[in-house]
C-alpha cells in the first residue's frame, strides 16, 4: 500500500509540469479538477505514453503493483478469500519496494532532464 502511494504521489507531483511540456496524456480529461480524483492507473499510463517518463518494463511493474494494492485491500481480501487464512503474500512487499524505487527514480531522472522553470 505504501509503495503504491509513493508511486501515485510521485506521478501526481509531475502532472502540471508534464502538461506544460505536452508529455504523455497529462493534458487529457483524466487530469482536470482536483488531484484527489486522479486515478493511479491513468497516472501510470500517461507517464508511460511513448515512454515519456516510464519505460515499458517500469509500466508493467507499476501495473502489477496496482493490482497487488487492489488485492490486499481489506474489504476485497475478505470477499475474495472467505477461507480461514487469506493469501497475504508477504514477499510482494519487497517487490513493491523495488517498483516504487524504480518509478520514483524515473520521475527524478525525467525532472533532471526537464527541469521546471
Longest dimension (CA), the chain: 55
Based on the structure, what is the number of domains in the chain? 1
Judge whether 32 and 16 are in contact, CB under 8 Å.
no
Q: How confident is the model at residue 81 (pLDDT cuts 50, 70, 90)?
A: low
Give the Å distances, CA to CA, from 21 to 26, 45, 71: 9, 17, 35
The DSSP call for residue 50 is G
End-to-end CA distance of the chain: 32
The pTM (predicted TM-score) of the whole model is 0.85
Residue 49: the pLDDT is 95
Tell me what pLDDT residue 89 has: 72
Alpha carbon distance 57, 101 (integer Å): 14
Q: Which residue range is the domain that position 24 belongs to?
A: 2-113
pLDDT digits (tens, 9 = 90+) for 40-71: 999 999 999 999 999 999 999 999 999 888 87
For the chain, give the percent of residues with pLDDT over 70.
86
Kindly indicate the confidence band of residue 92, based on its pLDDT and cuts at 50, 70 and 90.
confident
Amino acid at each position: 500500500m505504501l509503495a503504491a502511494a509513493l508511486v501515485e504521489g510521485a506521478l501526481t507531483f509531475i502532472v502540471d509540469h508534464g502538461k506544460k511540456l505536452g508529455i504523455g496524456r497529462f493534458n487529457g480529461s483524466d487530469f482536470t479538477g482536483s488531484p484527489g480524483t486522479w486515478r493511479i492507473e491513468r497516472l501510470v499510463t500517461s507517464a508511460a505514453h511513448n515512454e515519456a517518463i516510464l519505460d515499458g518494463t517500469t509500466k508493467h511493474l507499476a501495473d502489477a503493483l496496482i493490482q497487488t494494492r487492489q488485492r490486499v485491500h481489506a474489504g476485497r481480501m475478505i470477499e475474495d478469500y472467505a477461507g480461514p487464512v487469506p493469501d497475504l503474500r508477504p514477499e510482494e512487499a519487497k517487490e513493491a519496494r523495488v517498483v516504487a524505487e524504480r518509478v520514483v527514480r524515473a520521475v527524478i531522472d525525467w525532472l533532471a532532464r526537464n527541469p521546471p522553470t
